[in-house]
Structure 1
Amino acid sequence: MANQVALTSSNQLFLGLPRFPGHETTPSLAHRTADGTVTAFPGTSWNDWKRGDNGRDAFVYVNSVHVFADDTVWCVDQGGLRPDAAPKSLSTPKPGAQKIVRLDARSGTILDVLRFDNEILPAGAQLNDLRMHDSMLYVTDSGLGALIVHDTTTGKTLRRLSGRKEMLGTSTSTSASPTTSASSEKTLNRHRTPKSDLIEISQDGTWLYWGAPTGPLRRAPTRLVRDPDITDEQLAVHVEHVADIPLSGGCAMDTRGNLYLSDIANHRIVLLPPSGKRKILAVDPGLISPDGSFISHDRHLYVPAPQTERTELFGNPKDLTSKPFHIYSVPLPTAYDGITLGDAITGA
């Protein structure tokens, strides 16, 4: 099951493989070679985690894979299995297990491992996805709801808007029930809607965008988000509502500010330009649970279809996913229905 995709400038393709219920026995990161072979990456003990391991130097639950301007591979590891699918003993990250890992795309050498203290990642926090501009790394916390800003040059880190449901979370009306029914053959939906999840940054690095899968999409000036002298109360005044969005598993943004949203309910990709006049870019019945997307250097939009809605987590009495798990590639024209489309944002 692949729910994340990213490519280098030479189109080396990397996949994130989550340990969903029924899919716990899997490598977490994979590389697709030129002949189409998919192998565990980096092919060492980093992909050999098993129940009982501390997970400090192995991938436990990779939730995001991304490639920026330097062509290295960044992975977000939540350090524990899903809280809505696993007991507390397996869903609570052991010390040092929740981390961000950067790898050399060719050799698989571990270049950096970022771990944060309890002030940045309190109990219940879950690193979700990340974007970068210059030396600044922006990360969503989908567990408690927060934005995390890390300066890779100075090593300083900020936690922003923590727990502010009105800006980062989902209401109880849109959160799935974690309960099960003993009297019914079918398990009720246990899936818990993440809080701040989707994240993008504008080409010039001036705006940070984020949202829960249920929306809405919001944004704030990065100069305020990363300024330690600006309080959360002051920052909150500058948070803007951008748009309401369909239930979305992932997104991508191009250099023209167009947002490409994975529309789960309708098996399609929605194009949301800065004008706000949305269009349907692509639709296919095989786009089942479309998730974390990526725009390649040669201007293709890659969208994984992991079929997560067919797992037991979403109330199915057994796992109904079927192989193979598809990754869609949509070539982007220079313009679509009157909207000029841009290139990949690399964070440079």
Structure 2
Amino acid sequence: MKILRNWMMRGALGVGFCGVLGAAAPALAGDYEGSPQVAEFVAEMTRDYGFAGEQLVSLFREVERKQAILDAISRPAERVKPWKEYRPIFITDARIQKGVDFWNKHADALARAEKEYGVPAQVIVAIIGVETFYGGNTGSYRVIDALSTLGFDYPPRADFFRKQLKEFLLLAREEQVDPLTLKGSYAGAMGLPQFMPGSFRAYAVDFDGDGHIDIWNNPVDAIGSVASYFKRHGWVAGEPVVSRAQVRGENAEQGLTEGLDPVKNVGELRALGWASGDALRDDLPVTAFRLDGVDGMEYWMGLPNFYVITRYNRSVMYSMAVHQLSESLVNARGGR
């Protein structure tokens, strides 16, 4: 990562901005010339976080509004694929082999993350594998362009992306990196684990101890950061993720959960005709769901650790893909 220009360093924050809109304030130029939203944002960052206003204006002169980003986020949603079509996208020989290679290369960091945070190495590797193919596709948009475009030109979610833009400028200052150099997805997700800026500031860690958190180029920091995220969201070491169920009886469908929250427990599902071959206590909270698999409908109980995976991406199929990729990685390595 490129070292931050002096204008974002804490030592350079004493320069006043004259209220952004006052006579002494420099004028915005470029794609956001004359934008009252950007002027208001600059004023907020100056007032609330001590940034040098003139230098933020200089920054936004270099920010580009990307129509391709607006087109991408506004594109009609694709047909939701059934599990039998979704799973083969992520559980492939190439992704498994690349994951084994990644695991072997970073075995020490993964073992340390598992010991410190309780999150299995295979789950950490699977997250990075699903998100970016182990760093092979981390995004080509400048993060500041993506967040500015969506924060100022996409009204349906402008508040969210403007908040992420604020978090991004804060993390750039804290990590002393040039915000114009950092790249990510069209939505502003960053690095090997595709953290949004808010998640970066809340959960990312300097896992190699070099004084900087770099999830773009440093797999060790990415590994520790994923483990930190899972631990902070309630991952319980040594506990399973899902349990396959057999369902019988006319009331079995009533056991299915609406949404992702584990609002039922194992005992309630048993009473409705759900049976599992695993030893699960009756009061264990679960998310009950079904998937349209190659061999027919599959019924599953998502256990508390499954719910943690859904906090990373709020999708049952995403979370199952991560889980099953993690199992495939273990099998491909011949066990742990």
- TM-score computed with the length of structure 2 as normaliser: 0.22
Q: Normalized per residue, which structure has more strand?
A: 1
More helix by share: 2
Q: Which has more radius of gyration? A: 2
TM-score (norm 1): 0.21
Could you say which structure has the greater relative contact order, defined with CA pairs below 8 angstroms and 6 or more residues apart? 2
